[in-house]
Amino acid sequence: MSFDVEEVLYFGEEAIKAGNKHLEIILVPAWGSNLISLVYKPTREKILRSPNSAEEFRANQILYGVPVLFPPNRIGGGTFTFRGRVYRLDVNEEDKNNHIHGFLHGERWRLVRAESGEHGPVVETRIDVDSTSHPAIYRQFPHDFSVEMSYRLNGMAVCQEATIVNHGREPFPWGFGYHTSFSFPENTSRFALTAEKRWKLNERLLPTGELEDIEYKNLLSQGMSLDGFPLDDAFLASVSADGTSEASIVLQDGTGGDGLRIRYRGDKNFKHWVVYNADGKRGFICPEPYTWVTNAPNLTLSASLTGIQVLSPGERVTVKTEMLVSIIAQS
C-alpha cells in the first residue's frame, strides 16, 4: 500500500498532508498542532469541520479541526490552589469569569517528523514551555514542560498520542483534552455516547459537584438525532472492560447512498466527555474527551472521580485517542 506525506500550504500556513487509500489528513503545526482536516478519500467527504479561510479559523479557532486543550475547559475565576501554590490563569471568558481551554491551542508548535512509516504516515509535533520560550504561559503555569503529539494513519483509523513531560523540579497537576469538531448535518446524522451520569452545571457552566441521571441515556447510548437539540453538557463516561470510553457519529447524505460511522475512542485516562453543538442547527458536533472534568482542581471530590493527576519531576505520561472510520452500506 502506498502512503503519501507532503508539505503543503494551508491558507498560507505551512502544513503536512498525509494519506493512504482511505483517509487524508492535514495538520497545521502553527495553529496549535491542529489536525484541521480529515477526509474520506473515496467520496471526499469531510469528516472534521474545517474552515473556509484563515480569517474564519482565527475568528473562532476552537470550533475547527482538533484543538489541543491543556488544560481542558473552564477554571472558575481562572484560579486554583495545588499543594499550597496558587495558580492564576488568564480570565478569557469574561462574561462567566472563567479561564477556558488552556494555553496550547493558539501556540505555534514545532514539526518533529513527517514520514511514511511501516503501517502508514506518521506526523509528530512538539511544544516546549519554560520562562524564556513562553513567558505568558509560564506566568500562569510556572513549570517547565513539553507536550509531544503523534498522529498516525493506519488503514481506516487515525491514532493520536499526546505525551506530557515534566522537565522541572516540582510536581504539577495536569488535565488534557481535545475540542474535536466533526461535520454533522443534523437532519441526516446520529450521535451516540457511552455515558454513565451527567455533571450538574451552574450558570457559569461549572460543575456543582453533583452527578445526575441522563433522562435520554438509552437513546444516547444507541444513537440519537440532535436536530434542534442543543448541548453544552459534561458527562461522566461509562467505560468498557478495557477502560476505554467512546462517542460515535453516523454521517449520511440523505440520498440513500452509503454512510460513514466514526467511532471516537479515548483510553482509560479519558473519563469525561463534554458535548457541544451550539443550538443544534449549525452543522457540527464537538464530542470532547477530557482526562479531567471542567474545573476539576476546584472540586472537593476524589481525584479518582474528577480525573486530576499529578506529574512528578522527570516523569512523562502518554494518553491515546483514535478515530475509527467504517462504511455503512445501504441495502
In this structure, what is the dihedral angle of CA atoms 278, 279, 280, 286, given to the nearest 10 degrees? Answer: 10
pLDDT of residue 331: 56
Condensed to tens digits (0 to 9), the pLDDT of residues 75-120 reads 999 999 999 999 999 999 999 999 999 999 999 999 999 999 888 9
d(CA 149, CA 265): 17
Q: Hey, is 135 helix, strand or coil?
A: helix
**What mean pLDDT is reported for the chain?**
97
What percent of the chain has pLDDT above 90?
A: 95
Sheet order of strands, 34-40 included: 4-10, 13-19, 23-28, 34-40, 45-46
Instruction: Answer whether residue 2 shows pLDDT above 80.
Output: no
Condensed to tens digits (0 to 9), the pLDDT of residues 119-164 reads 899 999 999 999 999 999 999 999 999 999 999 999 999 999 999 9
Q: Looking at 8-17, 30-39, 74-83, 245-254, which range is the least confident one?
A: 245-254
Instruction: Answer whether residue 61 shows pLDDT above 60.
Output: yes
Residues taking part in catalysis: 179, 288
Count of H-run helices and E-run strands, the chain: 4, 27
Residue 216 Cα to chain centre, angstroms: 24
Residue 236 Cα to chain centre, angstroms: 16
d(CA 20, CA 210): 45
Condensed to tens digits (0 to 9), the pLDDT of residues 200-215 reads 999 999 999 999 999 9
Mean pLDDT of 9-16: 98
Q: Can you give the length of the chain in residues?
A: 331
306, three cell numbers: 474528577
d(CA 284, CA 241): 30
56, three cell numbers: 474564519
Split at pLDDT 50, 70, 90, the class of 257 is confident
Q: What is the DSSP letter of 1?
A: -
* Confidence (pTM): 0.97
Instruction: Answer whether residue 18 shows pLDDT above 60.
Output: yes
Q: Hey, is 61 helix, strand or coil?
A: helix
Split at pLDDT 50, 70, 90, the class of 253 is confident
Look at the chain and report how many structural domains it folds into: 1
Domain residue limits at 153: 4-328
pLDDT of residue 30: 99
pLDDT of residue 325: 98
CATH number, domain with residue 323: 2.70.98.10
Split at pLDDT 50, 70, 90, the class of 310 is very high
pLDDT of residue 25: 99
Contacts of 24 by beta carbon, 8 Å cutoff, 6+ apart: 4, 17, 18, 37, 38, 39, 41
d(CA 287, CA 193): 9
Contacts of 80 by beta carbon, 8 Å cutoff, 6+ apart: 86, 87, 297, 298
